Amino acid sequence: MVTLEDIQAARERLRSAIRPTPCPQSDYFTERTECAAVYFKLENLQRTGAFKERGALNKLLTLTEDERRRGVIAASAGNHAQGVAYHARRLGVSATIVMPERTPLIKVSRTRDDYGARVVLKGTNYDEAYAEALRIQKAEDRVFIHPFNDAHVIAGQGTIGLELLEQCPDLEVVLVPIGGGGLISGIACALKETRPGIRVVGVQAETIASMKASMEAGERVLLAAAGTTIADGIAVKRVGDLTFPMVQKYVDEVVAVDEEEIAAAILTLLEQEKSVVEGAGAVGVAALLSGDVPSARGRRTAVILSGGNIDMNVISRIIERGLVKAGRLVQLEVRLPDRPGMLAKLTTQVADLRANVVEIHHERAFSKAGLGEAMVEVTLETTGPAHIEELERALHKLGWQVARK
């Protein structure tokens, strides 16, 4: 089991290459939640956009000369891949990375094009990519760098815990994302061995909560029917045999959040904190906003924003869905007389009520409207639910049928 001394040694190794990330207090989240204070540990500001490079570099720095010559291989959904690739290139070590086929393009391109690793796309999830990496490792005699189930990797991630203790000495609760358990194992060890009173809470995606299931069962559980998640960086079907006993020893609680909560957290961080955070990095915020961590109420709480490598297309979809849920984007279906000037009358009415037309579609032949009628689908930017109701009332007064899509 990794010790506090291992983590302290890792910090000395990493000191010249890994800069401590900020941990500011969030006024917005402190006011919105029932916590005494909320702090965000901004690991999304690392050079590769995630905490993973801490463990990757610590592992690389412990390799022998012979191991460096042979080169390394890793399996990763993206962040571990970038950490290994970036620091392997810095150290002059050949790196091969196996990534699931559905890995966001930004992570694939950065690993291959920006950081110079050979990338192999294989499988639909981490476990299938991992199996392919083991096959290549044996065939090419490379050193395997596991993303979470490795003592040096765990110790490297644990350096975040040491930084937290220095930056926020009065912390009472820390929320940490969990995939395979490497991050939370290291952080929890550093925290609990230094200040046992700190409460450590792990957070997983509900569709693939392998650590939560394992904790409840008292043994490692393989999720045979795991679902998909936008938190792809923590989509692991089975936690590590090194990480699981550490989580059992040091972690107080593991909770799970659903996809809508994760998406809402990403959007809130973007809008309120001006922070780009991927799904895996936002799960702690999702748990805090949804009230899944009652032990954080009235306490000084830190949340690890573990990474920011999110596909821009995903951000676009999350923003649009978030605007719809907030009532700031609405699609109305308006049935009106099929006469000249009616479409202009509709858009004039919308403009008079200070709504903005984003998209409009005018249909006759394929709509459910009767003869002499037309169906118009109009997407509008509004100020919120009350504004939408005002628009609907105004259109109804004109004698038009209006329905929300």
Residues with catalytic function: 52, 306
Nearest residue to 305 via CA among 338, 323, 279, 333? 279
Q: Where are the alpha helices (DSSP H) in 121-177?
A: 126-140, 151-167
How far apart (Å, rounded) are the C-alpha atoms in residues 203 and 234?
A: 10
What pairing do the DSSP bridges indicate for beta strands 143-144 and 329-337? unpaired
| DSSP per residue, 266-316 | HHHIIIII-----HHHHHHHHHHHHT--GGGTTSEEEEEE-B----HHHHH
201: tokens are 């809470």
Q: Judging by DSSP bridges, how do beta strands 300-305 and 373-381 pair with one another?
A: unpaired
Q: Are strands 300-305 and 37-42 parallel, antiparallel or unpaired?
A: parallel
What's the token pair of residue 322? 């978030």
Virtual torsion, Cα 147, 151, 153, 155, nearest 10 deg: 140
* Beta-carbon contacts of residue 326 (< 8 Å; ≥ 6 apart): 384
Say which residue the tokens 């203790």 belong to: 165
In contact, 60 and 145? CB cutoff 8 Å:
yes
Query: Token digits for 97?
Result: 């990375």
Distances (CA, A) of 326 to 51, 225, 351: 32, 33, 21
Could you give the CA distance from residue 108 to residue 125 in angstroms, rounded to a whole number?
A: 14
Helices (DSSP H) in 232-278: which residue ranges?
243-250, 259-268
Here the tokens at position 240 are 């590590």
In 271-365, beta strands by DSSP E: 300-305, 329-337, 356-363
DSSP 8-class letter at 364: S
Order of strands across the sheet that contains 253-257: 37-42, 300-305, 173-177, 199-205, 253-257
CA–CA separation, 202 vs 174, rounded Å? Answer: 8
Compute φ and ψ for 46, nearest 5 degrees: -65, 160
Amino acid at site 282: A
